[in-house]
C-alpha cells in the first residue's frame, strides 16, 4: 500500500514537471517593442507660381518678359526646429544641394511632439565656404565636386545659388538670350524662417511639406534687360536683390 502511494506521488510530480515545461515552451514571456524614434523629413515641391517647375518651359515675369529656367541648384544647411516655448527640438547641420529632382530631405529625430517654427540657411556656412576644397571631400558629399559645378575656386568659395536659362530680350516672345544668376560670398549667406505650428506623431516619421516657388527669386527683376544677370561681384546689387527675394520663395504647405 505504501509502495503504491509513493509510486503515484512520483508519477504525479513528473507529470506536473512535464506540464510546466510545456507551458514554458508554449508561452514565452511578452517583450516590450522597441519604439521607433520620432523623426522629421522634408517633402520638397518645386514650383513656378501655381504650376510644377518644368525645366526649359516658357515662363513670364512680372514685366511680361518670356524666359526659361534650365538649371536651378542651391545649397541649404543648418535646419533647426523649435517648439512653442522656443526650445530647440532638432538641430541638423549637414549641407544639401537642392535640385528639381530632389524631393525629400531626411532630417532626423526630434525631442518634442510639436514643431512651431523652423529655420535653415541658403548657402554654405561661412566657416566652410572659404576653407573647404571640394576636391578633398568624399564622393557623394554635398560639399564635394558637383556636376555641373557649384564652386568658383578655392579663393572665391562656393556658389550658393545657381539659376540659369534664356530670356526674350528682343521682344519677339522667344527666349533666346542666355542669363546666369551665380550667387555666392559670405555676405549673401541667407537665413530663412518659416512658421509651422505642426503637431508631430510620436514614434513615427513626420513629414513637413515645403513648396519652393522659383518665380519668387525674380520678383522685381525685368528679365528683358541685358543687365539682368549676375556672377555676384559683377552685379552685387542684383545679387543682393535676388537673395533677398528668397524670403518669399519657401512656404509650408499643409495637406
pLDDT over 50 (residue 184): yes
- On whether residue 10 sits in a domain, the answer given is no
pLDDT at 153: 83
Q: Is residue 89 within 8 Å of 83, Cβ to Cβ?
A: yes
pLDDT at 9: 45
Closest CA to 218 of 45, 100, 65, 50: 65
- On whether residue 18 sits in a domain, the answer given is no
Residues paired with 135 in a beta bridge: none
- On whether residue 204 sits in a domain, the answer given is yes
DSSP string for 91-142:
EE---EEE-TT--EEEEEE-SSSEEEEEEEEES--HHHHTT--GGGSPTT-T
pLDDT over 90 (residue 27): no
pLDDT over 70 (residue 104): yes
Q: How far apart are CA 48 and CA 45, in angstroms?
A: 10
pLDDT at 1: 46
> What is the CB-side half-sphere exposure of residue 71 using CA atoms within 13 A?
16
- On whether residue 115 sits in a domain, the answer given is yes
Scored b (16 or more CB within 10 A) or e, 155-164 reads eebbbbbbbb
Place of cell 517648439: 83
Closest CA to 184 of 127, 236, 250: 236
pLDDT at 33: 60
Query: Residue 183 is inside which H or E element, if any?
Result: strand 177-184
Q: Which domain holds residue 62?
A: 39-253
Q: Is residue 246 within 8 Å of 190, Cβ to Cβ?
A: yes
pLDDT over 60 (residue 251): yes
pLDDT digits (tens, 9 = 90+) for 144-179: 999 999 999 877 899 999 999 999 999 999 999 999
What is the chain's mean pLDDT, rounded?
A: 90
- On whether residue 21 sits in a domain, the answer given is no
- On whether residue 207 sits in a domain, the answer given is yes
Other beta carbons within 10 angstroms of residue 16's beta carbon come to: 10
pLDDT over 90 (residue 49): yes
- On whether residue 75 sits in a domain, the answer given is yes
Give φ, ψ of 248 to 5 degrees.
-110, 5
- On whether residue 8 sits in a domain, the answer given is no
pLDDT band at 54 (very low <50, low <70, confident <90, very high): very high
The domain tally of the chain equals: 1
Residues paired with 109 in a beta bridge: 39
Amino acid at each position: 500500500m505504501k509502495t503504491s502511494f509513493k509510486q503515484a506521488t512520483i508519477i504525479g510530480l513528473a507529470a506536473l514537471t512535464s506540464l510546466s515545461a510545456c507551458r514554458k515552451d508554449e508561452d514565452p514571456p511578452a517583450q516590450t517593442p522597441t519604439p521607433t524614434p520620432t523623426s522629421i523629413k522634408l517633402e520638397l515641391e518645386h514650383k513656378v507660381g501655381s504650376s510644377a517647375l518644368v525645366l526649359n518651359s516658357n515662363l513670364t515675369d512680372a514685366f511680361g518678359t518670356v524666359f526659361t529656367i534650365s538649371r536651378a541648384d542651391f545649397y541649404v544647411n543648418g535646419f533647426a526646429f523649435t517648439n512653442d516655448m522656443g526650445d530647440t527640438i532638432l538641430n541638423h547641420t549637414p549641407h544639401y544641394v537642392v535640385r528639381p529632382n530632389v524631393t525629400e530631405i531626411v532630417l532626423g529625430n526630434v525631442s518634442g511632439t510639436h514643431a512651431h517654427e523652423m529655420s535653415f540657411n541658403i548657402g554654405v556656412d561661412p566657416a566652410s565656404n572659404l576653407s573647404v576644397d571640394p576636391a578633398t571631400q568624399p564622393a557623394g558629399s554635398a560639399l564635394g565636386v558637383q556636376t555641373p559645378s557649384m564652386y568658383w575656386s578655392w579663393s572665391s568659395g562656393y556658389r550658393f545659388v545657381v539659376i540659369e536659362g534664356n530670356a526674350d530680350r528682343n521682344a519677339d516672345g522667344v527666349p533666346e538670350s542666355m542669363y546666369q544668376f551665380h550667387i555666392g560670398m559670405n555676405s549673401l549667406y541667407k537665413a530663412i524662417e518659416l512658421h509651422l505650428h505642426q503637431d508631430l506623431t510620436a514614434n513615427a516619421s513626420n513629414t513637413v511639406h515645403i513648396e519652393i516657388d522659383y518665380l519668387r527669386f525674380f520678383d522685381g527683376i525685368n528679365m528683358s534687360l541685358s543687365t539682368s544677370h549676375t556672377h555676384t561681384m559683377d552685379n552685387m546689387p542684383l545679387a543682393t536683390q535676388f537673395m533677398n527675394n528668397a524670403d518669399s520663395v519657401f512656404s509650408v504647405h499643409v495637406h
